[in-house]
Amino acid sequence: MRHFSSSLSGIFAVSVLSAAVSSAIHAQTPALQEIEEVIVRAHPLSAEGLAQPVAVLSGETLNRVVSPSLAETLRDIPGVHSSSFGQAVGRPVIRGLGGPRVKVMEDRIDSLDVSVSSPDHMTMVEPFTAESIEVLKGPSTLLYGSGAIGGVVDVHTGR
Phi first, then psi, for residue 3 (nearest 5°) are -65, -40
Q: What is the mean pLDDT of residues 33-50?
A: 67
The pLDDT score that the predictor gives to residue 46 is: 59
Domain boundaries, the chain: 54-156
Indicate the helix (H) or strand (E) that contains 5.
Answer: helix 2-28
How does pLDDT run across 104-123, given as a tens digit for each residue? 888 888 887 777 777 677 77
Determine the topology of domain 54-156 in CATH: Ferric Hydroxamate Uptake Protein; Chain A, domain 1 (2.170.130)
Rounded alpha-carbon distances, angstroms, from residue 40 to 43, 71, 118, 123, 143: 10, 36, 41, 35, 18
